[in-house]
Amino acid sequence: MAGSPNRRSRVLRLRPGERRFLLLLGDLAASVGAALLALELWASLDYLGPDPTVQFIRARAPWFVLLPPIWALLMVNLYDVHRANSLRETVKGVLIAAGIGAMLYLALYFTVEGSIPRRGVLYFLGFAAAFTFAWRGLYILIFTAPAFTRRVLMVGAGESGRTLIEIVNHMVPAPFHIVGCIDDDLEKHGSQVEGINVIGGNDRLLETCQEQAVSDIIVAITGAMNGTMFQALLDAQERGVEVTRMPSAYEEVLGRVPIRHLESDWLLRSFVDEARVSGFYLLGKRLIDLAVGATGLVVLGLTLPWAGLAITLESGWPVLYWQTRLGQGGRRFEVVKFRTMHKDAEADGQAHWAQIGDPRTTSVGRLLRKTHLDEFPQFWNVLRGDMSVVGPRPERPELVEDLEEEIPFYRARLLVKPGITGWAQVNYGKGASVEGSAEKLEYDLYYIKHRSMLMDLWIILRTLGAVIGLRGI
């Protein structure tokens, strides 16, 4: 029977990608059920035609085919696995999705009245919210239970291990349960690291895996590893325990790269050996840039007269401004944006951080930022090829020079084109300090390392969710 707890943990272990797929399937099932029930209710209560089953379906029901995927799009920000484990975040996210769906429906209804159901969509939103609440509650009840919670043994009680333990301790609910630490430093035995016991050295590793039903080992050793520790890890892996390095576990938990806990050759291994992208990806990305850029400029043309008038009336001319930024490979280009700050906001000639609630921002500027209309002139830079729709935000040369001295690997973000939106924007926002910029860089490097067409589309969808919900990114 030895090792059976590990086999049981391995069977029930679900990775974040698997959980995300499960959440999507459940939401689609809930929304399909909601669409069918709403269709039946609308046919029986509201439809006044001669045949509520055939004529009705031919005339109006095709709209309902679109509702389940639209509902999944409205739920896009709840496919973050950590947020999905929180009942509070789930309630908030479902209510926001239903509210945005109702607003979009009403706007469409009054624009093209007569072509969509009068009350059928509202029935759907009500049922979809109720069914999704039930499904998500069931998910939280089952998949946060001990049987689905990974039991982790940390190997290495130094700074790297301490960092990850501290992060996990502050996450509610925790992504996994840490049963203890193993370290060959005799002075650490019997002590605690952020409340986690240091059990002993490598001679206790296999025993602890058996006693604690460990499903995963995270190796947080940044220096040389002795041969007995290495052999103990191999033995544990042979018994079904999954062994992961701390940087990989950090990426999985937070969706970013631990820049202060990486080996010196990490940049070469990650971006030369592992992060090559195909020509098809680059071609597809450029086609998306052209399509989205052209659409963005059309929207800009419709809003420019009104935004320009509002800016001029409040703070005068100019309406647009140009600013030097660094692009791919450190190439300088001029980014164009709506002016959202008072004139002479940097009268001292020095580059300043843009803050949330910046006092230099005008009233019109705050509205433009809230609705993200201030970003639309940058679609001109996208069409020119200076920027992409998705990528790290372009920074000013003066700030880059300072940040390169303070933050390791900072210049690596210039390996790709900057973007209007990006992985850092949808997960973090503005980095208005050296510490904030370091955290943003961790997201940017994660994107560069894992970028793909699917990830770009995922970021665009999350950005649309933020824009529709008037949430800052």
Give 385-431 pLDDT, tens digit per residue: 999 999 999 998 888 888 888 888 888 889 899 999 999 988 886 65
Q: Confidence band (pLDDT; 50, 70, 90) for 8?
A: very low
Domain that holds residue 383: 279-468
473, part of any domain: no
Q: What is the pLDDT of residue 51?
A: 53
Q: What mean pLDDT comes out for the span 305-334?
A: 88
Q: Is a pLDDT exceeding 50 seen at residue 2?
A: no
Residue whose structure tokens are 């910046």: 358
Q: What mean pLDDT comes out for the span 246-272?
A: 81
Q: Is a pLDDT exceeding 50 seen at residue 1?
A: no
454 and 327 assigned to the same domain:
yes
Q: What is the pLDDT of residue 128?
A: 95
126 and 159 assigned to the same domain:
no
Q: Give tens-digit pLDDT for 99-136.
A: 888 888 877 777 665 555 667 788 899 999 999 999 99
Q: For the chain, what is the mean pLDDT?
A: 83
Q: What is the pLDDT of residue 385?
A: 93
Quote the percentage of the chain above a pLDDT of 90: 40
Structure tokens at 251: 């990426």
Q: What is the pLDDT of residue 3?
A: 41
171, part of any domain: yes
Q: Is a pLDDT exceeding 60 seen at residue 174?
A: yes
Q: What mean pLDDT comes out for the span 166-182?
A: 90
Bridge-based pairing of strands 388-390 and 332-338 is unpaired
Q: What is the pLDDT of residue 357?
A: 60
184 and 65 assigned to the same domain:
no
424 and 285 assigned to the same domain:
yes
158 and 117 assigned to the same domain:
no
106 and 156 assigned to the same domain:
no
- Please tell me the pTM assigned to this model: 0.81
Q: What is the pLDDT of residue 372?
A: 81
Q: What is the pLDDT of residue 389?
A: 96
400 and 434 assigned to the same domain:
yes
375 and 390 assigned to the same domain:
yes
The residues near 286 (Cβ < 8 Å, ≥ 6 apart) are: none
User: Higher model confidence: residue 355 or residue 241?
Assistant: 241
Q: What is the pLDDT of residue 238?
A: 93
192 and 165 assigned to the same domain:
yes
250 and 294 assigned to the same domain:
no
Q: How far is residue 171's CA from residue 452's CA, in Å, rounded to a whole number?
A: 28
Q: What mean pLDDT comes out for the span 297-316?
A: 87
166 and 119 assigned to the same domain:
no
- Lowest-confidence region among 62-66, 139-143, 227-231, 445-449: 62-66
User: Higher model confidence: residue 24 or residue 349?
Assistant: 24
Number of domain units in the chain: 3
Q: What is the CATH number of the domain that holds 185?
A: 3.40.50.20
Q: What is the pLDDT of residue 5?
A: 42
> What is the three-state SS of the chain?
CCCHHHHHHHHHCCCHHHHHHHHHHHHHHHHHHHHHHHHHHHHHHCCCCCCCCCHHHHHCCHHHHHHHHHHHHHCHHHHCHHHHCCHHHHHHHHHHHHHHHHHHHHHHHHHCCCCCCCCHHHHHHHHHHHHHHHHHHHHHHHHCCHHHCCEEEEECCCHHHHHHHHHHHCCCCCCCEEEEEECCCHHHCCCEECCEEEEECHHHHHHHHHHCCCCEEEECCCCCCCHHHHHHHHHHHHCCCEEEEHHHHHHHHHCCCCHHHCCCCHHHHHHHHHCCCCHHHHHHHHHHHHHHHHHHHHHHHHHHHHHHHHHHHHHCCCCEEEEEEECHHHCEEEEEEECCECCCCCCCCCCCCCCCCCCCECHHHHHHHHHCHHHHHHHHHHHHCCCEEECCCCCCHHHHHHHHHHCCCHHHHHHCCCEEECHHHHHCCCCCCHHHHHHHHHHHHHHHHHCCHHHHHHHHHHHHHHHHCCCCC
Q: What is the pLDDT of residue 350?
A: 58
Q: What is the pLDDT of residue 52?
A: 52
72 and 95 assigned to the same domain:
yes
Q: What mean pLDDT comes out for the span 40-45?
A: 76
Quote the percentage of the chain above a pLDDT of 70: 83
Q: How far is residue 54's CA from residue 68's CA, in Å, rounded to a whole number?
A: 22
Q: Confidence band (pLDDT; 50, 70, 90) for 138?
A: very high
